[in-house]
Structure 1
Amino acid sequence: MANSKKLSDPESLRGATPEELEPLLAGMERRKSTSATGGGFMVRIPGGAAVFEAGNNAMEGGQYIMRDPLHRGPYVKIQMGKKVTRIPLAGNPTLG
C-alpha cells in the first residue's frame, strides 16, 4: 500500500510510525533540535521547517514536567511562516 503521509499535509502525519516517516525524510539534511521536550531533529521543507520531537514524560514532585499531554510523547511541529501546527505521532499519549 502506498504511503499517504505527506509533510505538506501535517494532519496526514497523525499517528505516523518511524517506518512511515522515514521515506518522507530520505535525503533530507537533519539538524539536531534543542527543545524543552527532550530534543529531536529538524528538516527544512518548502516554506518552513518540520521538527520531530521525542517528547518528555518525566515527572517531578509527582507532576509531569510537560503539562500538555501532546508534549509527553513523540510529535512533529510543522512551522510555515508564523503558523505552527503540532501533530502527535505513534506512541503519543493523546492518541489513546
Structure 2
Amino acid sequence: MWLVIRSFSPSDIGTYNCVSTNSLGRAEGTLRLYEIKVGPVSHNNHVIVGGLAEPARGHRSAATSLFERTCPALLIAAMSLQCLR
C-alpha cells in the first residue's frame, strides 16, 4: 500500500482508507497522516509529517497475508538537511 501526496498541504492531514479486492481475497488498511510538532529550530520553518498504517483487517487470505508482510507500518517523513546534521 502506497500513499503519494504531491504538493503537500496541511489540509492533506487526516485519515485515508484503502480497500483491495481480487480473486485471492480482500485486504483493508487505514493510514493516518499527521503533523509532528517539534521544538523551535533556529532560522528554519520545517514541518515533519508522518503516518502509520494499521494492519490489514478482514478474513485471512493470500492477499491479506501479503499485505501484512509487506506493509506492517508506513512512515512518511519530510526531513530537512538541518535534521541530518
TM above 0.5, yes or no, is: no
When Rg is computed on C-alpha atoms for both structures, the one with the higher figure is 2
Q: TM-score scaled to structure 2, two decimals?
A: 0.29
Q: TM-score scaled to structure 1, two decimals?
A: 0.27
